[in-house]
Amino acid sequence: MSLPFLLEIGTEEIPDWMIIPALNNLQDMFQALLDQHVLGGKVTAVDATPRRLVLRAEGLLDRQADVEELVLGPPTSVGAGAAAGFAKKMGTTADQLVTQSTAKGEYFSFAKRTQGQATSAVLARELPNLILKIQWPKTMYWNDKATRFIRPIRWLVALLGDAVVPFEIAGVKSGNITFGHRILGKPSISVTIQDFEDQLRTNGVILSANERREKIEAGISVRIKPDPDLLHTLTYITEFPTPILGSFDRSYLDLPQEVLVTVMRHHQKYLSVEDADGKLAPHFIAVMNTNADPDGLVRHGNERVLRARFNDARFFWDQDQKKALTARLEDLKTVTFQAKLGSYYDKTMRVVELVKQLGGDERAALLCKCDLTSDMVKEFTDLQGIVGGLYAQAQGEPEDVWRAIYDHYKPLSMEDQIPSTAAGRILSLADKYDTLVECLKVGMTPTGSRDPFGLRRAAQGIVRIIVEGRVTSAPPLEGEFLRDRVEYYFRDVRGFAYDEVRACMAAGWADLLELETRLVRVQAVRLTPDFEPIAASFKRIKNILKQAQFSDSTFHANLLEPGPERDLYEAILGTQGQPLESRIGPLRPKVDLFFDKVLVNAPDPNIRLNRLALLHNLLTEFSDLADFSEIVTERQS
């Protein structure tokens, strides 16, 4: 018999951004549970709203198959008494035993049959643990301290076919009772596997996130600024989303668009509306978690909140203009950068110095953090830098200066662009470099997912700005942390093979532009037929030198024997000064022949040492380009 299964974990509102990873985790663990306990069946669907995680599976057995195994007892030679003892231990009688021949002789044995358990019993036993093992970024307890989840669990639906799988978590018993939308639905609705989604729908809950997203999109009839992340959030903070169009007074459009969009997006979760030319229009889309706004109260309420927010922003703007950015520099002494690293004033002075060394715009560096004391940034922290840039512009600073300030937090993510001007790139680079170096200096190295100062992002920004911005005057790059980011960038972002990245970085990575050039060359030369064999030989050479504990030794050409050894030497000599690309072809057969015919470990220690020196010289020939022994080859010798 094959049964369907339904699990619904009913909770209080789960943060939207945690839902998808949790669903994936639940799906994987439940499938593993079915497989481990041989219950048959496959997870067919997972879905969620803020108040419920739902999993469906099909094709479960109603019980595990019985298992028969042959248990070996005492040898038949020991007689009936031992047989009876064994039978008793197996819970049977001696006449049920059989004789089994083995290489060591004949043994009493018993075909022990373990009855499969009912699926429902296995699930009832395993589900509480499984549910509580779902991984969340931060959990809480609400009933007993040992039971932790993302938010309190308030109901559990667990059905195998028509029957409830009975278990309990923190005082909540599983059943067939679900809860509808807080306002549109009823509490306590009894459901079956078949009518579950329909019952939810009748009670104001659209279980499918895709359907909710489509409902939002279908309900928008104006042109919006595309914002997939916000749309995702809106999909997962609602059980029954309905978009509404609101408006604000055109006069607010005098405020910088960045400010308006930030207020709408980050603070109110509104989608911005654009006119036919792509310019911001005096409207917004809010997404309600209900079905309608019959009296326009929701629209009115949202418009009122937005008006207050925009008024604040306008007030902040006017207020902030009363004190120029330059006059705010002193105030940075009271703004903490980091407890161990002093104030933003201290940081500013370091960044100014660095920007000076790198040939950037010192004025921009001096003013870049001054917006931190503005009311606008205190209220809308996401706008740091941008506000400073806008204020600098309004206060008559040259374009080079205000643009550099405006851009200097960029890139904020892998997708974000690097600063648009040279001065902006230098300033951003210097700021991030200072943050990184200073934080690492006081031991604030990120661990695991903890990176409170965004050092990974800073390091990634440094790498991208240098490489993509073609910055030739970069500060010195060193240390394991930065090295990892460089490796990550070229490998995962730029798509170079990991061994090429390692090989090239082994030859140095302080100059990222030069590293990039080498990577491009190595990538190209790798496609030629002689490359892999020679790389394999290089690996071999490295091993030989290592085993021989070769440090350094003068090479004497006169000690070379004629034949493959001298041939190799002459091939090296003959191609010296040529680029790698044209040396590999002539060198490869000579190297192969050398290893075929020449014994490195010659009985005469002088010859041996000289051969090692020859190989060492060969290896160092290309060492400023890459360490080819890092290349992973088919022919590992």
Partner 1 sequence: MSTPLTFQETVLRLKQYWSDRGCILQEPYDVEVGAGTMAPETFLRVLGPQPYSVAYVQPSRRPADGRYGDNPNRLYKHQQLQVILKPAPTDVIDQYLGSLKAIGIDLSKHDIKFEEDNWEAPTLGAWGIGWQVMLDGLEISQFTYFQQCGGFELDLVPAELTYGLERIVAFLQNVDSVYDIEWTRGVQYRTVRHLEEYEFSKYNFELADVGMLWQLFDLHEKECQRLLKMPDTVLPAYDQVLKCSHVFNLLDSRGAISVTERVGVIGRVRKLALGVATAWMKRNEAAA
Part of the chain binding partner 1 (CB under 8 A), chosen from 9-17, 56-64, 405-413, 614-622:
9-17
Of the residues 334, 472, 543, 617, which one makes contact with partner 1 according to CB under 8 A: 334
CB 364 to partner 1: min, Å: 23
Of the residues 290, 393, 420, 523, which one makes contact with partner 1 according to CB under 8 A: 290
What region does 514 belong to: left with phi over 0, alpha with psi -120 to 50, or beta?
Answer: alpha
* Residue whose CB is less far from partner 1, 81 or 301: 301
Alpha-carbon distance of 165 to 157, in angstroms, equals 8
Contact between 146 and partner 1 per CB under 8 A: no
The residues in 534-573 that bind partner 1, with binding defined as CB under 8 A, are none
b/e burial code for range 200-239 (CB count within 10 A of at least 16 → b): bbebbbbbbbeebbebbeeebeeebbebeebbbbbbbbbb
Continuous segment of H or E residues that includes residue 5: strand 2-11
Q: Quick one: tokens of 522? A: 């190595």
Q: Please, what is the angle between helix 422-441 and helix 399-407, to 10°?
A: 40
Tell me, what amino acid is at 18?
Answer: M
CB 130 to partner 1: min, Å: 22
Alpha-carbon distance of 29 to 135, in angstroms, equals 11
For residue 97, the SS3 value is coil
Tokens 């009839």 belong to 221
3-state secondary structure 513-543: HHHHHHHHHHHHHCCCCCHHHHHHHHHHHHH
* Residue whose CB is less far from partner 1, 335 or 520: 335
Tell me, what amino acid is at 53?
Answer: L
Show the CA angle centred on residue 345, arms to residues 344 and 351, nearest 5°: 85
Of the residues 58, 71, 130, 151, which one makes contact with partner 1 according to CB under 8 A: 151
Part of the chain binding partner 1 (CB under 8 A), chosen from 127-135, 338-346, 436-444, 477-485:
338-346
Of the residues 134, 286, 541, 584, which one makes contact with partner 1 according to CB under 8 A: 286
Of the residues 68, 103, 138, 322, which one makes contact with partner 1 according to CB under 8 A: 138
Of the residues 38, 140, 327, 442, which one makes contact with partner 1 according to CB under 8 A: 140
Alpha-carbon distance of 624 to 579, in angstroms, equals 12
The CB-side HSE value for 346 (13 A sphere, CA atoms) comes to 12
Contact between 342 and partner 1 per CB under 8 A: yes
Alpha-carbon distance of 240 to 229, in angstroms, equals 18
Tell me, what amino acid is at 25?
Answer: N
Of the residues 307, 441, 470, 546, which one makes contact with partner 1 according to CB under 8 A: 307
Contact between 377 and partner 1 per CB under 8 A: no
* Residue whose CB is less far from partner 1, 270 or 595: 270
Contact between 137 and partner 1 per CB under 8 A: no
CB 241 to partner 1: min, Å: 10
* Residue whose CB is less far from partner 1, 49 or 64: 49
Query: Which residue, among 441, 485, 479, has the nearest Cα to 459 in the 3D structure?
Result: 485
CB 306 to partner 1: min, Å: 7
List the x/- string, 162-201, binding to partner 1 by CB under 8 A. --------------------xx------------------
The residues in 14-53 that bind partner 1, with binding defined as CB under 8 A, are 15-16, 50
Of the residues 101, 143, 194, 247, which one makes contact with partner 1 according to CB under 8 A: 143
- Contact status, residue 20 vs residue 137, Cβ threshold 8 Å: no
CB 8 to partner 1: min, Å: 17
Contact between 300 and partner 1 per CB under 8 A: yes
With a CB cutoff of 8 Å and minimum separation 6, the contacts of 605 are: none
Part of the chain binding partner 1 (CB under 8 A), chosen from 213-221, 281-289, 432-440, 611-619:
281-289
Q: Quick one: tokens of 192? A: 């079956």
In the complex, which residues of this chain contact partner 1 (CB under 8 A)? 12-13, 15-16, 50, 138, 140-143, 145, 151-152, 154, 182-183, 237-238, 268, 270, 286, 288-290, 293-295, 297-298, 300-302, 304-308, 311-312, 315, 331, 333-337, 339, 342-343
